[in-house]
Chains A and B, each alone.
Chain A
Amino acid sequence: MTTLKELSHREERFTGGHRLCAGCGAAIVARQVLLAADGPVVIGNATGCLEVATTLYPYSSWKVPWIHNAFENVAATISGVETAYRAFQEKGRLAEKWHFIAFGGDGGTYDIGLQALSGALERGHRMLYICYDNQAYMNTGIQRSGATPKGASTTTAPAGKVIPGKLQPRKDLTAIVAAHHIPYVAQAAPHNFMDLTRKVEKALAVDGPSFLNILAPCHRGWRYPPEDTLKVTRVAANTCFWPLYEIVNGEYKLNYKPRKKLPIEDWLTFQGRYAHLFEGDGEPELVAEIQADVDRAWEDLLIRCGELPPRECRDEKKK
């Protein structure tokens, strides 16, 4: 794997000067991914914060070929580019190996773009799809998405007098993608940049579709100080709210296990979007539910990764 020192010598192909907010997680993810993706690459970008804030005509932050088509179709668009590439290769018009990377926000991936993503994965295009997950439609002003976690307040699921924010759990997109049985699927976060770099390299090395779900905090939507973006993803990993793991040809592997699993309150109290859960009498039952959801998902993951025996086996022993 490329070392930090080597990375520091690589050309920056996602440049500064864009209009993403200072401290935007998506910007860190884009830069990190492009540093890790060595060689010729075409980027596809779904409509969303990353797209609008980096290509305000006549400016562009991308020193690589880049295409934006619409909100819900980046997977289809990049599959068209990759197919053109294959056609050119067959005809001997292109010899070099290119990479194809699609960036979609959580809205563009979990929700409106899910069908296009599923189709492209099933067709088997050699592309890396990256969902930069900031857990809401940020570009249009922090509306709830299928990625918004239970309990969070958004502009379309606000913490109201009766309903305390979003009540539904978020979709497990990583598992949905894994169900397509593609060669490489992983969850990552930018605070662990060596893990992220390694995952991008692994994903680009496979001969087929690969997928990374990367937690990309938005301080505007999550309500924490902009300088704490990497702290907040670290807390996400340490509370096991956002585990770092990978699925290589169907085999689960845990990439990070906190020495001490922190209580979910550490994640919730870090962010203003959960403030209503702790104001006045608070919502202790909802907080307990969120903790139970996280515990269950974490245990499931440990079992899948072979870190814990399956529940039936443990129940057997108890008998």
Chain B
Amino acid sequence: MAGPSVQSLKLPLTGNDAAAYAMKQVNPDVVAAYPITPQTELMQTFAEYVHDGEVDTELITAESEHSAMSACVGAAAAGARTMTATSANGFALMWEVLYIAASLRLPITMTVVNRALSGPINIHCDHSDSMGARDAGWIQLYAENPQEAYDLLLVALKAAENHDVLLPAMVMYDGFIISHTMEVVETLPDEAVREFVGPYKPAYAMLLDKKPFTVGPLDFHDYYFEHKRQEIEGMLHAPAALAASAAEFEGLTGRSYGPLETYRADDAEVIMVALGSTAGTARYAVDALREQGHAVGLMKLRTFRPFPAAEIAAALGGAKCVVVCDRVVSFGAFGSPTFAEVRSALYEVPERPLVINYIYGLGGRDTGPDLLEQAFEEGLRVASTGEIKEHVGYLGVR
């Protein structure tokens, strides 16, 4: 790995600070947002940048998240680089417009500070908000810590705006666990960020280009399918665009961001799959179990959309048992979303691992290494007996 080509500045930042700081350095044309815990501090920080004249951004303090995302669509369709952020119920209120933003091929970038969806109402972390929108046509990246919250927002923005992609992107991190936890974050100089993201160049004439341009017409059975097929094509180009963006970013920072990351997984018989901050806890559990002589490892999934099926098959193919941990429930489904898709990705692997699923941490339920070790132990039992007792289990629930 090449060393960083740019001198970084180390700052103590929470996840929310880090995302706001990245937005400040991007200096987007338009930001539209609405307050919701645990995202609120992000927008408050950004509003300070606007009111102190540190950015040129026009900030729309919308009267709801539905309107915030709707205004983002209007601004992006006018040719503006547009960003926003939200959580949970606010994210749910955007739902209708999330699909519209993607189908209009508007590369809006959004930070989603993961929080459990109501009901019952709760403000703490799980992934039910962003996981529910996995079919909306957005690129979805899960950050583990404030550093990734900063880095991935920049990487995602550049990939989203790639003319082969032109899809919106969301970067997630765990509410409170990351949003409110301060860590040392290596930041790039402003000029390096501006140069990295470059000036925003829409792929075609936008609303303010004086060319009569009809955005969002009625599209029936005679064309709708082709337009959806084009949208799929955009998503199919996303892995290459993300890789290119990440490679350039690595050149600047020395930090490498593939769709997934493994930890002590090469010779592991049992590999845990986790997203977000839990990956850090899982690494700790892996080390503890390795000390005891167990061959366990971790695969952290960073990119959920586009789902890196081939990379997952390659990373997990050698294991005897895969333990998929998901911070979301999909009612009535056979396991959680990550379980279902990981298991499907492994279907054609020559020596298919057995796959079990643990749902954990709903509504912010604390999930420490002990619980993950418990999941690993079940994985080790499955690996040695070849027998699954229950495909789906629950960690830390009474």
Partners in one complex: yes
Whether B63 and A122, one on each chain, are in contact in the complex, defined by CB atoms closer than 8 angstroms, is yes
Whether A76 and B62, one on each chain, are in contact in the complex, defined by CB atoms closer than 8 angstroms, is yes
Whether A81 and B97, one on each chain, are in contact in the complex, defined by CB atoms closer than 8 angstroms, is no
**Which of A55, A58, A84, A123 is packed against the most chain B CB atoms within 10 Å?**
A84
**Which of B60, B70, B100, B208 is packed against the most chain A CB atoms within 10 Å?**
B70
Question: Known contacts A62-B214, A66-B215, A76-B70: does B75 contact A42 (CB below 8 Å)?
Answer: no
Whether A88 and B80, one on each chain, are in contact in the complex, defined by CB atoms closer than 8 angstroms, is yes
Known: A57-B217, A83-B58, A84-B82. 12 other contacts (CB 8 A): A55-B218, A58-B223, A63-B212, A68-B217, A69-B70, A76-B67, A79-B60, A80-B72, A80-B77, A82-B74, A84-B80, A94-B208
In the complex, A62→B218 CA distance in Å? 13
Contacts of B73 in A (CB 8 A): 67, 69, 77, 80
In the complex, A168→B312 CA distance in Å? 60
- The answer to whether B209 has its CB under 8 Å from any CB of chain A is yes
Contacts of B195 in A (CB 8 A): none
For B57, give the chain A residue with the smallest CB separation.
A87
- The answer to whether B71 has its CB under 8 Å from any CB of chain A is yes
Contacts of B209 in A (CB 8 A): 65
- The answer to whether A73 has its CB under 8 Å from any CB of chain B is yes
- The answer to whether B32 has its CB under 8 Å from any CB of chain A is yes
Contacts of B215 in A (CB 8 A): 65-68
Question: Known contacts A57-B219, A68-B216: does B56 contact A90 (CB below 8 Å)?
Answer: yes
Whether B207 and A67, one on each chain, are in contact in the complex, defined by CB atoms closer than 8 angstroms, is yes
Whether B78 and A81, one on each chain, are in contact in the complex, defined by CB atoms closer than 8 angstroms, is yes
For A78, give the chain B residue with the smallest CB separation.
B74
Whether A118 and B217, one on each chain, are in contact in the complex, defined by CB atoms closer than 8 angstroms, is no
- The answer to whether A64 has its CB under 8 Å from any CB of chain B is yes
Name the 7 nearest CB pairs between A and B, nearest first.
Answer: A80-B74, A119-B63, A80-B71, A55-B217, A76-B67, A84-B78, A73-B70
Which A positions have Cβ atoms within 8 angstroms of B? 40, 42, 44, 51-52, 55-58, 60, 62-70, 72-73, 75-88, 90-91, 94, 98, 115-116, 118-120, 122-123
For A125, give the chain B residue with the smallest CB separation.
B60
From A65, A69, A87, A119, contact of B30 by CB (8 A) = A87
In the complex, A199→B123 CA distance in Å? 48
- The answer to whether B398 has its CB under 8 Å from any CB of chain A is no
Whether B216 and A80, one on each chain, are in contact in the complex, defined by CB atoms closer than 8 angstroms, is no
Contacts of B74 in A (CB 8 A): 44, 67, 69, 76-84
CB within 8 Å of A: which B89-110 residues? 96-97, 100
Contacts of B100 in A (CB 8 A): 69-70
Whether B207 and A79, one on each chain, are in contact in the complex, defined by CB atoms closer than 8 angstroms, is no
**Which of A40, A42, A115, A123 is packed against the most chain B CB atoms within 10 Å?**
A42
For B63, give the chain A residue with the smallest CB separation.
A119
Contacts of A40 in B (CB 8 A): 210
- The answer to whether B64 has its CB under 8 Å from any CB of chain A is yes
Whether B75 and A81, one on each chain, are in contact in the complex, defined by CB atoms closer than 8 angstroms, is yes
Question: 17 A–B contact pairs at CB < 8 A?
Answer: A55-B216, A57-B220, A67-B216, A69-B70, A69-B73, A69-B74, A69-B216, A70-B100, A76-B67, A81-B74, A82-B74, A83-B71, A83-B80, A84-B58, A84-B207, A88-B79, A119-B64
From B79, B216, B220, contact of A84 by CB (8 A) = B79
Chain B nearest Cβ from A109, distance in angstroms: 14
Contacts of B66 in A (CB 8 A): 72-73, 76, 116
From A57, A75, A80, contact of B78 by CB (8 A) = A80
Whether B217 and A85, one on each chain, are in contact in the complex, defined by CB atoms closer than 8 angstroms, is no
